Amino acid sequence: MKGAPVFFIASRLIAGRNDASGGRDQARRALRGAVLAIGLSLVPLLTVMQVADGMVQGISARYVELGTYHAQAHAYSDTEPLADARDRLAATPGVTGAWIESQSVGVAFTSGAREGAAIRAVEQGFLDDPGTTAYFELEDGDLALERANDALVGSALAAKLGIKSGDSFNLITVRRSASGEPLPKVSILRVRGVVSAGYRELDSQWLFIRQADTARVLPRESTRSFVGIKSADPFGEPEQARLLAESALQQGYTVYSWKRLERNLFESLASTRTMLLLIMAVTVAVAAVNVSSALSTLVMERRQEIAVLKSLGARPSDLARTFSLGGAFLGAAGAVLGSAFGLLAATRINEILRVLEWLSNAARRLVALLTGSPAPAYAPLLDPEYYLQAIPITLRFADVAGVVILTVGLSFAASFLPARKAARLDPMDALRRR
């Protein structure tokens, strides 16, 4: 049998007609159940996939645009003039920006508190870069380091220290004497702005000062300096900035791409995402078993029709193809249903979380009211202190297409047994049972 009649018979057996005799149509109900099961199993899978992608993308973008740059060029020796390298890189076609940065650590303290800080001495160009401003939220003051001792403080660090723009605070860094003894140095800095990357991990550490203040504030022996480089498309072409920098600098420098610099973090995020998706995929596989069960019911219920198809000239392989295609149809219908609701849930995940949070708190208040307990404090479902404040969602339709193909494939595979049963059905036996 050619493909067209196989498709026609499979689609009609699976979808049926409204005006066909009703009777006891267990199979049709089972088929609808199988489609629903697949659809339901896909909703969490697609939601987790898109949300995980959004979170990974959100965290990665913050690290790449605000932390690692797209690539870093480190000089082999301290004598290499970084300013020359920066200028050469900035003039390289394809490079969108290059700035010197120096990093060290210290302890920031005010009269009431003290906190460890990752000190970053940056150039104003970095702060003005569109990639930087896209992810930096200015909570207070200005995003500028114009005067000596100006500082930008991460929002979580500022909160711990109890400082805001215009306030002064102390920064202790430690140098070593010629004999190796620690020599603390206290610098007085003024808060020019309080910034947030929207990610607690970063906001609790970062303290930005002027690149020009490096020599005065940071201890030479525990400070590392490099040129940070940005290019056009760090995620689409993650090695582009490194390759451009290597060709521009040639020797005397080692250049690292952002993927290499934060390899552990990104590998960890990717592994977590993969593990979550595998667990969810098992649910889809279990749902696909319903396809097998529903098709088996259909084969049992339509034994005589299958026998008639054989009497009309259908080969066993034709019937196997018909029911396998039917399984694929069920998978496709479930995938369409699940994709629609999964994507809807994913794009509305922030609203869904807010509703769940409200419901959870309402339930707690109700229980407290009924039991006469004191009203509980409002508890966030996900503490924004430790997560991205809003989960960024970027729909990846290629991934969705992959899930749909996987689902259809699983359903096709799950239809193997009922398809074989239909192919092996003895027409004489089926017709005699009438």
Cβ 9 to another protein shortest distance, Å:
8
Instruction: Characterize the bridge pairing of strands 71-75 and 253-257.
Output: antiparallel
Cβ 15 to another protein shortest distance, Å:
8
Cβ 18 to another protein shortest distance, Å:
9
- Backbone phi, psi, residue 113, to 5°: -150, 160
The residue (of 158 and 314) whose beta carbon lies closer to another protein is 314
The residue (of 312 and 398) whose beta carbon lies closer to another protein is 312
- Spell 279-305 as b/e; 16+ CB within 10 A means b: ebbebbeebbebbbbbbbbbbebbbee
Cβ 432 to another protein shortest distance, Å:
8
Binding-site size, another protein (CB under 8 A):
33
Burial class (CB in 10 A: 0-12, 13-18, 19+), 124: middle
| 24 near another protein (CB under 8 A) | no
- Spell 195-204 as b/e; 16+ CB within 10 A means b: bbbbbbbbbb
What residues from 34 to 93 belong to the interface with another protein (CB under 8 A)?
none
- Encoded amino acid at 373, one letter: S
DSSP conformation letters of 84-128? HHHHHHHTSTTEEEEEEEEEEEEEEE-SS-EEEEEEEEE-HHHHH
**Binding span for another protein by CB under 8 A among 114-122, 140-148, 389-397, 424-432:** 424-432
**Binding span for another protein by CB under 8 A among 13-21, 136-144, 243-251, 290-298:** 13-21
CA atoms within 13 A on the CB side of 296: 9
Return the residue of 20, 270, 367, 401 that touches another protein, per CB under 8 A.
20
Cβ 295 to another protein shortest distance, Å:
15
**Binding span for another protein by CB under 8 A among 4-12, 76-84, 380-388, 407-415:** 4-12
| 3 near another protein (CB under 8 A) | yes
Q: What single-letter DSSP state applies at residue 212?
A: G
| 16 near another protein (CB under 8 A) | yes
Is 102:228 a contact under the CB 8 Å cutoff? no
**Residue the block writes with tokens 């667990």:** 279
Q: What mask, x for binding another protein by CB under 8 A, covers residues 299 to 338? A: -----xx-xxxxxxxxxx-x--------------------
Residues lying near another protein in the complex (CB under 8 A) are found at: 1-5, 8-9, 12-13, 15-17, 19-21, 304-305, 307-316, 318, 427-428, 431-432, 434
